[in-house]
Amino acid sequence: MATQGSNEQGRGTARRKLLGAAVLGAGGAVLGLPGVASADGQRTGGGYRSLPKPTVIGHRGASGYRPEHTFGSYELALDLGADVVEAGDLVPTKDGHLVCRHEPEIGGTTDVAAHPEFAGRKTTKTLDGVATTGWFTEDFTLAELKTLRAIERIPANRQRNTLYNGRWEIPTFEEVLQWQDEQTRKRGKQVWIYPETKHPTYFRKLGLGLEERLAKILHKHGKDRKNSPVIIQSFEPSSIQRLDKLVGNPLVVLLSAANTRPWDFVTAGDPRTVADLVTPAGLQWIASYAQGIGPTLDLVIPKDANGALTTPTTLVADAHKAGLILHPYTMRNENTFLPANFRTGTDPNAYGDAFGAFRTYFATGIDGVFSDNADTALLAREDFVNG
């Protein structure tokens, strides 16, 4: 583990670098200075690189406080100050609409189990090699899904969020784009979103290809261009490669644990693992069709056997050398989700030292972070940039 002195020196260097980037690239947004907007509502300089740094991305909205992937969660993320809202994880319906759910299996995120008319839809499917039992979006029409209501996905950790169970329906991606325009007008600044194609190989085999549907909707709404306020992400590189040919949007490859393989690699017989993709050669390959990566935080700073942070890897420097931005995932406030050396007390669901964890991750030079708690992330950024 690095010494405290070297950590402090690194944080100081990173703060100065990010402060300069924030002032020059974000129109002074981090410091509260007025940004300059162009005719199309984009900040001067345009595109994803004009976002404040480190960019705060509301993970599935404000999922630390509301059931994820609902308009209640999305709007609260904006109210809390998120620069970008992850709206949403895209999965298809039986009749080809794209809706926002964390997974195609909706037993854990909706009240479908309480609907006797859908009891016969419960089934077991193999999803990316894993037997999964429940109800799946591709077995429902949009009209049927609209009779359901969202519930908290992890009630054991976030019991307070269950207060909002049943309040919001499942949004479609088209509704999200309309909401984005409404919120942009209401708030007087461009709202950014960050959708993800979920299990694209699985759905393509079902005849429900995601990329073409997504591109068609974006084109319809005029949001398929280089500087459009929509960043697209996927855990499957082939999905991003396909999108690179269909849209001009900034594209991001998500990266899981180092010893894992993207599912499209598994089905194609590609032997590479995530460890191969985070090498300089792997990052150059990603940069040939994408603008960024979304690594798990453990790829930025690994943990030891006790779950405590160790020494940062070279991933940030290597990715930047390849011209890629990094938006790691996911920061949450609860002890159970924090590195061991930032937990406080013995209650796994109590808040730990999230600010300390943010500071440590920001010091690596990451360009942004996904967080369930955008308000905490914004305060942490203010401390880091101004401290």
pLDDT at 379: 98
User: 191 with 180: CB under 8 angstroms?
Assistant: yes
DSSP string, 334-368: BGGGS-GGG--SS-TTSB--HHHHHHHHHTTT-SE
Query: Which stretch, 23-32, 40-49, 91-100, has highest mean pLDDT?
Result: 91-100
In this predicted structure, the answer to whether residue 37 has a pLDDT above a threshold of 50 is no
If one compares 9 and 101, the residue with the highest pLDDT of the two is 101
Average pLDDT of the residues in 230-255: 98
**pLDDT at site 292:** 98
pLDDT for position 46 = 77
The per-residue pLDDT for range 129-180, each reduced to its tens digit, is 999 999 999 999 999 999 999 999 999 999 999 999 999 999 999 999 999 9
Q: Residues 190-210, buried b or exposed e (16+ Cβ, 10 A)? A: bbbbbbbbbbbbbbbeeebbb
Instruction: Name the average pLDDT for the chain.
Output: 91
Those residues whose C-beta lies under 8 Å from the C-beta of residue 205, and which sit 6 or more positions away, are: none
The rounded Cα 360 to chain-centroid distance in angstroms is 20
- Alpha-carbon span 31 to 329, nearest angstrom: 24
Beta bridge partners of 370: 57
Work out the pLDDT band at 27, boundaries 50, 70, 90.
very low
Q: What is the mean pLDDT of residues 49-60?
A: 97
Quickly state the pLDDT bin for 7 (edges 50, 70, 90).
very low
For the chain, percent of residues with pLDDT exceeding 70: 88
Average of per-residue pLDDT across 122-133: 98
The answer, yes or no, to whether residue 24 has pLDDT greater than 60, is no
In sign, the C-alpha dihedral spanning 130, 134, 139, 141 is negative
pLDDT recorded at residue 387: 85
Q: Quick one: CA dihedral 343, 346, 348, 350, positive or negative?
A: negative
Q: What is the pLDDT of residue 271?
A: 98
In residues, how long is the chain? Answer: 387
Residue 44 has a pLDDT of 33
Q: Tokens 């976002």 belong to which residue?
A: 51
In the chain, what are the helix, strand and coil shares in percent, each to the nearest 5? Answer: 40, 15, 45
Q: Please say whether the beta carbons of 195 and 233 come within 8 A.
A: yes
Q: In sequence order, which residues have a C-beta less than 8 Å from that of residue 292 and are 6 or more positions away?
A: 48, 231, 250, 251, 252, 253, 324, 325, 326, 327, 367
Residue range 275-300, pLDDT digits in tens: 999 999 999 999 999 999 999 999 99
DSSP secondary structure code for residue 6 in this structure: H
How many other C-beta atoms can be found within 10 angstroms of the C-beta atom of residue 124?
9
Per-residue pLDDT averaged across 371-387, rounded?
97
Contact 161, 90 (CB under 8 A): no
Q: What is the pLDDT of residues 190-207, one digit of tens each?
A: 999 999 999 999 999 999
User: Considering the entire predicted model, what is its pTM?
Assistant: 0.89
